[in-house]
Chain A
Amino acid sequence: MADMKMLDASDRGLSSGYMMWYRFSRNPAAVIGSLILISIVILAVFAPWLTPYPKHVGAVVDFRARHLPPDASHWFGTDKAGRDIFSRTVFGLRVSLLLVIGVLGISVPVGTVLGLIAGYFGGWVEKLITSLTNVMLAMPPLVMALAVSNLLEPTLTNAMIAITLLWWTWHARLIYSVSKSIASEDYIEAARLAGAGPIHILFREILPNCLAVISVKTTLDAAFVILFGATLSFLGFGVKPPTPDLGSMVADGRQFMPDFWWEVLCPGAVVFYVTLGFNLLGDGLRDMFDVEN
């Protein structure tokens, strides 16, 4: 304890930005993870210019070139319609990233706000929100998602809605526990005594102290959302063909296993690569912020 205090005192001269960067740059997981993610974002954004056959995204059929194994002109081989799998996986990344942005863009703010409110106010508000999250968490996610996309039309938007409906609960629960412990800190009481209203306390006093937890959780979640999205489209509840999607590409290639293994393995490996990137970055961020759980 005593020497911890001393370390604090000695770090006084360093800015928190420098300390963050120092920990980040010395954390191989975080660095590799962010390099992977940067490569993915560049590929997805500039897909039309970076892929050899951007036209193969659409309804192109070239039977002379079907089921070609990987070579110099088709890095990942071709599929049953003779389309370049590499080009299609790169475009498939766009769908995955859209899904992540759509799902987390809604469920993270919603979950965070509900969690903050439940943790700070307590009483019946807390009971209501925690009961609601508990009920939602009790539903098997895949069954729920299948039901929603079955009820509506199987499109990307509907898959997003289905996943979002489930996802906010995890964030609400996490932020609830953090917010509840912060709410009992002296500085929150001091802010109340200084005349702060609930909006100020929730978003200016408690939220900044949750940002580390939120960013770690969101990054790790991105990996799960991609996997979940891929699962849904593998089962046929995702993007409509011919739009390329990593999950449905694996599903399409499945019937040709094991002869034309590249049709499953290559898009599968890309799912792995993206998931790994998010997970590494998430773990790295966790070490960096010293966040537990």
Chain B
Amino acid sequence: MAVKLMQGNEAIAKGAVAAGCRFYAGYPITPSTEVAEVLSRELPKVGGKFIQMEDEIASMAAIIGARVGGLKSMTATSGPGFSLMQENIGYAAMTEVPCVIVNVQRLGPSTGQPTAASQGDVMQARWGTHGDHPIIVLSPISVRHSFDLTIKAFDFSEKYRTPVILLTDEIIGHMREPVELPDFKTVKIFEHSVTEKPADYKAYRNGPGDVPPMAAFGTGYRYHITGLFHDEVGFPTQRLDEIDPWLERVNTKLTNHMDEIALYEEDYEDGAKVALLSYGCSARTARHAMKLARAQGQKVDLLSLFTIWPFPEKQVEALGDKVDRIVVPEMNRGQLALEVERIVGRKKVRRVGLANGEMVTPQMVLEKMGG
């Protein structure tokens, strides 16, 4: 494919097709609508289905149902729609149905400002639905990265049987950059293979391994699906000897695999005592500030997080051991900074939060870096 000027949201749609997504259900909302627009054209060409639903609650339900029926599925939304999806995101986590939810963040709360950028849904993406549950949240920093992380989102959702949130923002979603996409045929993602006979199959067996293979409905494998706590074949249970192993397996199935799930980029210098830590559009600003500081002879480290949940504790702890100060620019009033503070201590962290729709500027970051 040739180099083409492409929008972040378009790259997400292309990444979904490349990853084998064949079902999209959604309700259009600024600034995510381009994802739906592109998929409404592209999915029918590859035998996929596009449905515009009546709302985001139904959209989320539809993509869960589609995946149970065997199709890789996705939806895309923004703030108000993401709030409506929370109940069914919890259902997907409880029933361990893979699915990808794109949230192109806009300024909130409530209707907020539809066309203004934000990174205000960091905590909602982790804790928006009730109860302890695992979830993966990825955050891209460029148009090409939006394509690549969408594929990763599908890969992780399948491999770990979990909803994955692609948490992008209005800046990255609407930004256009020159990109050259790979041949979609070269894209490989995890595929479930069920080796048991249908009679022996347990969709929720608690070991060996922490992720049981998933069989699609209609392929001869029978199991029950419920949002209630369930036994290994999916029927409701109140027995602690059935609930406890499930809780343990499901709440560690991601953290046990952080070596694979934690995606990040380190740009470190020997002797640096100040670091910048960021994600999404603000990671671009952080990199800009890093280059300016280095051009002036200041040593500075940069940690860009692409996986933000589960929080990459190991990498942040190591950075905290290396430097005296970590500056965290983000387009909110300090959300991911709370996690950094939890790991390295409040005294080492300087927040640069802006929650009015404007990007943090390199100058604001430099001022917090200090001398």
| A, B from the same assembly | no
Measured CB to CB, the residues of A under 8 A from B are: none
